[in-house]
A and B are shown apart, each in its own frame.
Chain A
Amino acid sequence: MNAIDKPAGHGQDGTGEAPLLSVRSVSKFYGTRIGCQEVTFDLWPGEVLAIVGESGSGKTTLLNCISTRLPPSAGTVNYRVRTGEMRELYRMSEAERRLLMRTDWGFVHQNPADGLRMTVSAGANVGERLMAVGDRHYGHIRDTAIDWLGRVEIGEDRVDDQPRAFSGGMRQRLQIARNLVTGPRLVFMDEPTGGLDVSVQARLLDLLRGLVADLGLAAIVVTHDLAVARLLSHRMMVMKEGRVVETGLTDRVLDDPQAPYTQLLVSSILQV
């Protein structure tokens, strides 16, 4: 776990060598049970990291600890804010953290209903972050919302519909648009394709891959689906029972798994 593989220069905003996010020895205990233990890694700007593992391996706990949704029992999480300064997330004030979460970060939930406001229109869902950072021009908010809906392949005529009138795949795309509208630098995704059928999954993955590449986003994707990791991520981390058992470039880990558990995981994929 100490071997932090450096990706082949995905950084594109001039920060070059400096990591965007630096996680050191993060552990989370639920009483005597382990959520995740001693997780250490760095994430560089523009890099997509996949966290894979079976159910209960601590993937989501780790994601929540990093994204300030769940304070860890031990360890530190440092993030490079837009000024270039490295800040320890759990030492920031709550106001700063919340501002970070709705401007510089995005969080895509597995269940879109958790990340959307189901009772307001799609346009308002996308516009909420803009209004939260002080945009007070209706026409501008609406134009931006329509533009973003277009980018995630939702028609302009659906802008005034509520998300509950949308299909599962559309909701997930709407959630992505809502998160990306403020131009975040880091997006957390918790099983973004969970609960979608395979053809919708494929389109969503295609869309996500395009957006991540176009916007130069850094992303941490939690998934149990190795195909998602293969398609989206540059690097992956394999977790088992709260610990990281293997890290490395995605293609390397999937084609030449070293740890016994990773070998088991890779060989468990159904070949059709």
Chain B
Amino acid sequence: MNATAGAIATYNFAYLDEQTKRMIRRAILKGIAIPGYQVPFASREMPMPYGWGTGGVQVTASILGPDDTLKVIDQGADDTTNAISIRKFFQKTAGVATTTRTGDATVIQTRHRIPETPLKSGQVLVYQVPIPEPLRFLEPRETETRKMHALEEYGLMHVKLYEDIARNGHIATTYAYPVKVEGRYVMDPSPTPKFDNPKMHMSPALQLFGAGREKRIYAIPPFTRVVSLDFEDHPFTVQDFGRPCALCGAEHVYLDEVILDDAGGRMFICSDTDHCEERREAGHAGEMLAGEAAQ
């Protein structure tokens, strides 16, 4: 394998062969035509284990062109193992430009987060999905769940939410929170925190979901209604952390807890590393940075 620039002849562009890409693009088009519907596709073996984003990688490989700029997110961060290895994979096999800036990217492959910076028209967000079936843990039979989707029998999804309230007093599902797409299909938004659910609603960007092991692709076209399920007397709400990011001072963003010492010290920082960096470059500072500056 020759990894020098321009020497990608050992692979077809973006690793997959053209027939495979064509098959996946057909599945994507069908998914876009029926928002929220899980389209079966002939998922391929990829040079990484299941659970590391094989579905997302196949979708990205099929839609990537030489002019695209790719960004890869893992739990909001650009610098974790999964993000770096997938970014390098496409640098090597497709030679495309990569970035960590949300605004500069045309294709963003993500695991577990939607960027804080609002997406714009022309961008594509590719989600890695472990279990695409929102009804799976309630109804183990695939034949039955397909029938339930076909006949729009979604009462069972509310049984889960009912159980949450009965046990915890509120809807305790915080990630993979089920949504209804364009008033028809109930969809699992992949394990993104429910904090990100409102960002899917009427997004100008195209959102594609790939599940490699489960061999399913689904999609939300731009400007599609995405409504989180709830009860009339227990409406859907997103997490509120009650504090700003300790590094950049951003409010109303999704925060990660970082343990600082073994004496209870902790700070909460943006889960979206790119958003945090951009804000710090623009001169914003949270309490942690302000403290350092004072010293």
On A, residues with C-beta under 8 Å from B are 94-95, 98, 117, 120-121, 123-124, 127-129, 131-134, 136-139, 141-142, 159-160
Contact = CB atoms under 8 A, between A and B. Distances in A.
A142 B233 CA distance: 12
A219 to B, nearest CB: 24
Interface in B151-190: 151, 153, 155-156, 158-159, 162-163, 165-167
A131 B151 contact: no
11 contacts: A120-B159, A121-B163, A124-B166, A127-B162, A131-B156, A131-B159, A137-B232, A138-B165, A142-B162, A142-B166, A159-B166
Contacts of A139: 233
A138 B233 contact: yes
Contact of A138 (B147, B156, B231): B231
Contacts of A123: 162, 166
Nearest to A120: B163
Given A94-B151, A138-B233, A138-B234, A160 B159 contact: no
A124 B166 CA distance: 9
B206 to A, nearest CB: 30
A183 to B, nearest CB: 16
Contacts of A142: 162, 166
A132 B153 contact: yes
A160 to B, nearest CB: 5
Nearest to B160: A120
Nearest to B167: A160
B231 A128 contact: no
A141 to B, nearest CB: 7
A230 B135 CA distance: 43
Contacts of A129: 155
A117 B160 CA distance: 11
A140 to B, nearest CB: 8
A142 B166 CA distance: 9
Given A137-B231, A137-B233, 4 more contacts: A94-B147, A95-B151, A131-B159, A139-B233
The A interface, classified by DSSP as helix, strand, loop or mixed, is helix
Given A136-B232, A138-B162, A128 B156 contact: yes
Nearest to B158: A131
Nearest to B155: A132
A117 B158 CA distance: 14
B125 to A, nearest CB: 30
A27 to B, nearest CB: 27
A254 B151 CA distance: 45
Contacts of A132: 153, 155-156
B151 A136 contact: no
A159 B167 CA distance: 11
Chain A CB within 10 Å — which of B162, B230, B233, B234 has the most?
Answer: B162
A104 to B, nearest CB: 16
Contacts of B165: 138
B151 A141 contact: no
Contacts of A120: 159, 162-163
Contacts of A94: 147, 151
A117 B159 contact: yes
A154 B156 CA distance: 23
Contacts of B156: 128, 131-132
B166 A128 contact: no
A98 B158 contact: no
Given A94-B151, A95-B151, A98-B153, A131 B233 contact: no
A96 B230 CA distance: 26
Contacts of A128: 155-156, 159
Contact of A133 (B155, B166, B230, B234): B155
Nearest to A93: B151
Contacts of B151: 94-95, 98
Interface in B213-248: 230-234
A129 B153 CA distance: 11
Contacts of B167: 121, 160
A144 to B, nearest CB: 12
Contacts of B147: 94
A124 B159 contact: yes
Given A95-B151, A98-B153, A121-B166, A127 B234 contact: no
Contacts of B163: 120-121, 124
Contacts of A138: 162, 165, 231-234
Interface string B137-155: 0000000000100010101
